[in-house]
Chains A and B, each alone.
Chain A
Amino acid sequence: MNYHWNWGIFWEMSPEGTGTYFDMLLAGLWWTLATSALAWIIAFSVGSVVGVLRTLRSGWVVMACNAYVELFRNIPILVQLFLWYFVLPEVLPAEMGRWLKTMPNAAFWTGSIGIGLFMSARVAEQVKAGLQALPRGQWMAGTALGLTTAQTYRYILLPTAFRIILPPLTSEMLNTVKNSSVALTIGLMELTAQTRAMQEFSFQVFEAFTAATILYLIVNAVVTLAMRWVEKMAAVPGYTTGH
């Protein structure tokens, strides 16, 4: 192989004129972090609500939420992003479609929401599983004390369920970070997209992707460590959630 290694490439100016190649990757990293964070906030909040609703005793609510989960879980994330980004503005009334298309940072907003909703289906699965892992007696004990259904979930069921599902939720957070790279297909210049741009300008493909790999590993190491810390903070003396 006749490859010319050049680890100094990161400190050379990129032809984009916005700084060095390293600055380019950092800009990508910033969009990756922003997209992952917003997507996770959406995934966690929507997923929690849908997960809770799926455990209620109301037939049509459960059915609607099951349909939601199946829909978002079973359509490839790439297709979902294309639907939100390319198809939705066309099927909306002209005025709204135009507004969507000309919105600043459209790729970021669409990507975050699209990835967030895709991940919310998976979070909903976890939340439902966590709630169903609790003995039915816990619901009864809360209800028998006069707590409303909302209070029973808020003060009793959810705090225990979330403790049980902290490890799988950590995986879903990591998946959210990894999935954020799919947003490059709708033009978001996140880390993977910037890495490819760097490769195309400089032809230093190995250096570029090594740097990207390391940056992704660092981000996910931070997420993992942070979640370990959360698990430690949430641990209850004498209560093992068992995994």
Chain B
Amino acid sequence: MAMIRLEGVSKWYTPQFQVLKDCTLSVAKGEVLVVCGPSGSGKSTLIKCINALEPFQAGSIVIDGAKLPDPKTNLPKLRSRIGMVFQHFELFPHLSITQNLCLAQEKVLRRGHEEAMAKAMMLLERVGLTAHAHKFPGQLSGGQQQRVAIARALAMDPIAMLFDEPTSALDPEMINEVLDVMVELAGEGMTMMVVTHEMGFARKVADRVVFMDGGEIIEDRPTEAFFGSPHSARAQTFLSKILAH
């Protein structure tokens, strides 16, 4: 059964500007989906809709049985079950690394501080940042901050993880430390939807690649097929641009 299913999702920012056009897509449990496409094609908007961070005007989304839009769906609860990682990390600057990891565990999941802390330390060890537990976000490098952000999302025991260009704000030498964590996560069977232009990562871990342009899903194919056989002219142009260097 699909963990995430989008059915004909359309969204308008203004009556004149349709940012998503009839998007249909599904992600099975344990599947890794890479979403790529030119800047402004609606990738961020699409994954924000899945996490109910943006409303949409037509179509529906079902996540592990919870439906959008549906007044009966408890949005905070739904969001707490989906991990989200942002391009600019969005750690909370006034909270220490461990406080960043504990806040939502305690306030949303109502875990005790001891339990939250144990979980936080376990995850920090996993992303290799135990030594930085007491520091503040501003004291870490971009790559370290993004690994903390991944750990923060994982602390909620999510059923799926959404990534919005997690490495595109990073200096080149820090990209791999973040991708390594994501590859490991994929290997453990996490359901993932990753907006990225890291085609090496896509080839290595993605089960399927989705190509978007102008708010539409132009291609949705198994990774091998996407990179192998001919496909739409628009995807080809896009690929030739990003693979050129």
Contact = CB atoms under 8 A, between A and B. Distances in A.
Interface of A: 135, 137-138, 140-148, 151, 155-156, 159-160, 163, 236-240
Nearest to A237: B136
A239 B93 contact: yes
A146 B90 contact: no
Among all A-B residue pairs, the 9 with the closest Cβ atoms: A146-B80, A238-B138, A141-B90, A145-B104, A238-B139, A146-B108, A144-B84, A137-B90, A239-B138
Nearest to B74: A146
Given A138-B90, A239-B138, 6 more contacts: A137-B86, A146-B104, A160-B94, A237-B135, A238-B139, A240-B138
A17 B109 CA distance: 66
Contacts of B80: 145-146
Nearest to B52: A143
A137 B88 contact: yes
Nearest to A145: B104
B152 interface: yes
Contacts, number: 82
A142 B76 CA distance: 10
B88 A135 contact: yes
Interface in B45-68: 48, 51, 53
Contacts of B140: 238
B92 interface: yes
B80, B91, B140, B152 interface centre (most CB from chain A within 10 Å): B80
A239 B136 contact: yes
B229 to A, nearest CB: 36
B90 A236 contact: no
A147 B108 contact: yes
Nearest to B162: A144
Contacts of B94: 159-160, 163, 236, 239
